[in-house]
C-alpha cells in the first residue's frame, strides 16, 4: 500500500506575543490510501494540531508533510472533508442544504451535487430526512449529516476530530459501527482523532499513539482485528492486548 500521507519529524510552534508554545515536537507516520487510522492521546496533547496541519490550515515549522503524489496533486481546499466534535449544521438550512454547503462553496455543478447528497444521506441512514431542519434530528443523526457533508464533494481525505465525543455512550457505539460501514462502502482515507483508547482500537486499521503535549509519537501499530467488526470484538483477547499496549504507553498501567 502506497503512502498517501507522509509525515516525518513534524514540529509546530505557536507564538503568542513574546511567548512560545510547542504543540507538536516530533511526529512521524504514514497513512496508506484507503486506511482508517486512529490518532489517540490525552486531551491537549496536540492531536488537533496534527489534524490542522494535514488539512492545510496550519503550516508545520519543521519536518516533512506530503499528501498525494506528483502524479495526483493534493489540494486541501478541494480534497479534504472535515468532521468536528459538534455537527456545526446551519440551523436555518434544511439537512440536504447543509450537506450541499461544500459543493456550493467549491462551485460544483449543483444538479449532480444534489443527487450525490441524496445518495449520501441514504448511505448514512438519513434517507427521507432531507427536508428536515437540524433541530428535528437527534445528536447522532446530526453527526451523520455532518459526515455526509464531509463526503459530498468527493474528497480524497476525511479528517475527523473527536466527532462522537459529545454523544452519549450508547449513541457513540452505534456511530462507531456506522462509521465503519460508511468507510467500507466509500473506501475513503480517514484520519480519526480521539482520546478514547477503546474507540481508537475498534475503528482503526492502525493506531498512532501521541504522548502528552507537546505531541510526540510513542507508537504506530497495525490493528489485526478482522473486518467487518462488531461490538463483540471488544471481548476478543487481541482487542484487550491492543488497549493495554496504549495504556502502558500513556503511563496508565
Query: What DSSP letter does each residue of 1-48 carry, written as one string?
Result: --EEEEEEEEEEEEEETTEEEEEEEEEEEEEETT-EEEEE--TTSSHH
pLDDT of residue 97: 98
Contact 135, 59 (CB under 8 A): no
Angstrom distances, CA of residue 204 to CA of 16, 38, 50, 211, 220: 35, 5, 17, 18, 11
Q: What is the mean pLDDT of residues 236-242?
A: 96
* Per-residue cell: 153: 464533494
Share of the chain above pLDDT 90, in %: 82
Phi, psi of 3 (to 5 degrees): -80, 105
User: Quick one: pLDDT at residue 202?
Assistant: 97
Residue 2 has a pLDDT of: 66
| Residue 251: per-residue pLDDT | 80
Q: Cα angle at 39 between 190 and 198, to 5 degrees?
A: 100
Report the predicted TM-score, pTM, of the whole model to 2 decimal places.
Answer: 0.94
pLDDT exceeds cutoff 90 at 20: no
Place of cell 514540529: 11
Cβ atoms of residues 204 and 213 within 8 Å: no
Residue 177: what pLDDT? 95
Per-residue confidence at 215, pLDDT binned at 50, 70, 90?
Answer: confident
CA 35/CA 188 separation, integer angstroms: 7
Instruction: Report pLDDT for 73.
Output: 84
| Arithmetic mean of pLDDT over the chain | 93
Mean pLDDT, residues 32-53 taken together: 92
Give the angle 52-66-227 at the CA atoms, nearest 5°: 80
Q: Residue 113: pLDDT band by 50, 70, 90 thresholds?
A: very high
Which residue from 236, 226, 227, 166 is spatially nearest to 195, judged by alpha carbons?
Answer: 166
Q: What is the pLDDT of residue 42?
A: 86
**So what's the pLDDT on residue 43?**
82
Q: What is the pLDDT of residue 190?
A: 97
Query: Sheet of 206-210: strands edge to edge?
Result: 62-67, 3-16, 19-32, 215-222, 206-210, 36-40, 189-194, 157-161, 80-83
Task: Cite the DSSP H helix spans in 71-229.
Answer: 76-79, 95-99, 101-106, 110-123, 139-151, 169-186, 197-203
Is the model's pLDDT at 252 over the cut of 90? Answer: no
pLDDT reading at 253 higher than 70: no
- The arithmetic mean of pLDDT across residues 119-129, rounded, is 95
Could you tell me if 19 and 188 are in contact, meaning their C-beta atoms sit under 8 angstroms apart?
no
Predicted confidence (pLDDT) at residue 82 exceeds the cutoff of 90: yes
Q: How confident is the model at residue 64 (pLDDT cuts 50, 70, 90)?
A: very high
Q: How far apart are CA 220 and CA 41, in angstroms?
A: 12
pLDDT, position 86: 92
Give the pLDDT confidence of 127-164 residue by residue, as tens digits: 999 999 999 999 999 999 999 999 999 999 999 999 99
Residue position matching grid coordinates 488537533: 48
Amino acid at each position: 500500500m502506497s503512502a498517501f500521507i507522509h509525515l516525518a519529524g513534524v514540529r509546530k510552534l505557536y507564538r503568542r506575543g513574546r511567548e512560545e508554545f510547542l504543540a507538536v515536537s516530533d511526529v512521524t507516520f504514514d497513512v496508506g490510501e484507503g486506511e482508517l487510522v486512529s490518532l489517540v492521546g490525552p486531551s491537549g496533547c496536540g492531536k488537533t494540531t496534527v489534524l490542522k496541519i494535514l488539512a492545510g490550515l496550519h503550516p508545520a515549522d519543521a519536518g516533512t508533510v506530503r499528501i498525494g503524489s506528483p502524479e495526483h496533486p493534493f489540494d486541501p481546499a478541494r480534497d479534504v472533508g472535515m468532521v468536528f466534535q459538534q455537527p456545526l449544521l446551519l440551523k436555518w438550512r434544511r439537512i440536504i442544504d447543509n450537506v450541499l454547503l461544500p459543493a456550493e462553496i467549491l462551485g460544483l455543478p449543483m444538479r449532480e451535487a444534489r443527487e450525490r447528497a441524496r445518495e449520501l444521506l441514504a448511505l448514512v441512514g438519513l434517507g427521507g430526512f432531507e427536508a428536515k431542519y437540524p433541530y428535528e434530528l437527534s445528536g447522532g443523526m446530526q453527526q451523520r449529516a455532518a459526515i455526509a457533508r464531509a463526503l459530498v464533494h468527493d474528497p480524497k481525505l476525511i479528517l475527523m476530530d473527536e466527532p462522537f465525543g459529545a454523544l452519549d455512550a450508547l449513541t457513540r457505539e452505534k456511530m462507531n459501527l456506522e462509521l465503519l460501514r460508511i468507510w467500507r462502502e466509500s473506501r475513503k482515507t480517514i484520519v480519526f482523532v480521539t482520546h478514547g483508547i477503546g474507540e481508537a482500537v475498534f475503528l482503526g486499521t492502525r493506531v498512532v499513539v501521541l504522548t502528552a503535549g507537546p505531541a510526540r509519537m510513542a507508537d504506530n501499530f497495525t490493528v489485526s482485528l478482522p473486518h467487518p467488526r462488531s461490538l463483540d470484538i471488544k471481548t476478543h483477547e487481541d482487542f484487550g492486548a491492543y488497549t493495554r499496549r496504549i495504556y502502558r504507553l500513556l503511563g496508565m498501567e
